[in-house]
Structure 1
Amino acid sequence: MSSPSHSLIRFLRRDTRGAAAVEFALVVPILLAIIFATLEAGWIMVQTIMLDRALDMTVRELRIGSFTDPTQEKMRDRICEKAVVLADCRNTMALELIPVIDASSYPTDAARCLDRSTEIEPVLRFNPGQRSQMVFVRACYVVAPLTPKFALGLLLSKDANGDVRLISKSGFINEPA
């Protein structure tokens, strides 16, 4: 004669009513992580490409002389006009123009980006340079990840506020007079 525990174990082995729920509970978090990581990576890539494109187009205008009397505000506005997908671009992008005289004057410090948690703005260098002079251009756009606590959002390098910094660099030589 078998004990009641043996008959219960045999009954539970034959009962498969919850098998699909267990599989679902194991597979769905992995599937959601893949989907959200793909969306996050795609959105970060689109923003980075648009920032690069807008900076290159604006630098080209500056280089050939069709952008006269550049100021930091005018140049940032022009970049933001061309980078259509960057939300609140004018308030979250820092822009630097640094003349390069020789190898020792090439900027080696990290990009200065805006800190959205404070009213203090970083000191940015903006000098469009002289004719026939090489100029280094750097733009830093600060954006919050779509999924900061999940999937790729956890792995992105973020600042103290949890924002991701998208940095675009370019350079040009002013046309001779």
Structure 2
Amino acid sequence: MTGSARRYSLTRIRSALRLFRKREDGNATVEFAIVIPAFLFLLMNTVELGMITIQQSMLERALDQTVRGLRLSTGVPKQHNEIRDEVCSRSGFIRNCGTSLRLEMVQVDPYAWSAVDPDPDCINRVEDVQPVRSFVTGASNELMFIRACMAIKPVFPHWGLADDMDNDLDGRIRLYATSAFVQEPR
């Protein structure tokens, strides 16, 4: 290639690049491609947080209503499965409650306080279901501490918020609700 042909080709390339730089045909597409992932991320995390909040609220409300019934009942103390079924029947929005809810109830002495284990057990669906951790029905005028732990499947398991939550090996999010009550005299 001769020198003048080379200059002519460089001039054509520069001219084509100048024209390309002045065109505005793809501006909206570029902006859309940059902004839409951020909006989708925010939208999906908002939906996920809403679902977690609803299920947490329903679990706490169901446990509070069940504990109120336990506190006021003066009959035979209820066992683990009966209490679990009551919590599940009142929880409403929580899927697979009967198989994913785990209850722990222990007697606490208010005069000789000993801390309750801060790490509740949740059902881990990867492993076998564990037996009840500790479930003491209590007698009259005893202070009882009850804790419910539930493992729920996130709506978007690998997108943002669900990865940062307290997850088990199966990727389920753990929700906790606690309450304390005094057994009424019989």
CA RMSD of aligned residues (A): 1.7
Q: How many percent identity over aligned positions?
A: 33
Aligned twin of 2:104: 96
After TM superposition, the structure 1 = structure 2 runs for residues 83-162 of structure 1, keeping only pairs within 5 Å, are 83-102=91-110, 103-162=112-171
When residues 50 and 94 of structure 1 are mapped into structure 2, their CA distance, relative to the original with a 3 A threshold, is same
Letter aligned with residue 175 of structure 2: L
Aligned twin of 2:3: none
Aligned twin of 2:35: 27
Deviation for aligned residue 1:113: 0.9
d(CA) in 1 for partners of 2:129 and 2:94? Answer: 22
Q: TM-score, normalised by structure 2?
A: 0.89
Q: Which stretches in structure 1 are left out of the alignment for 5+ residues?
A: none
Q: Which stretches in structure 2 are left out of the alignment for 5+ residues?
A: 1-7
Deviation for aligned residue 1:26: 0.5
Deviation for aligned residue 1:66: 6.4
d(CA) in 2 for partners of 1:110 and 1:92? Answer: 17
Verify the 8 A CA contact 1:113 1:141 in the aligned structure 2: yes
Structure 1 position 74 matched with structure 2 position 65: no
Structure 1 position 17 matched with structure 2 position 20: no
Q: TM-score, normalised by structure 1?
A: 0.93
Deviation for aligned residue 1:124: 1.6
Verify the 8 A CA contact 1:99 1:135 in the aligned structure 2: yes
Structure 1 segments of 4+ aligned residues over 6 angstroms from their partners: none
Larger of the two Rg values belongs to structure? 2
Letter aligned with residue 14 of structure 1: K
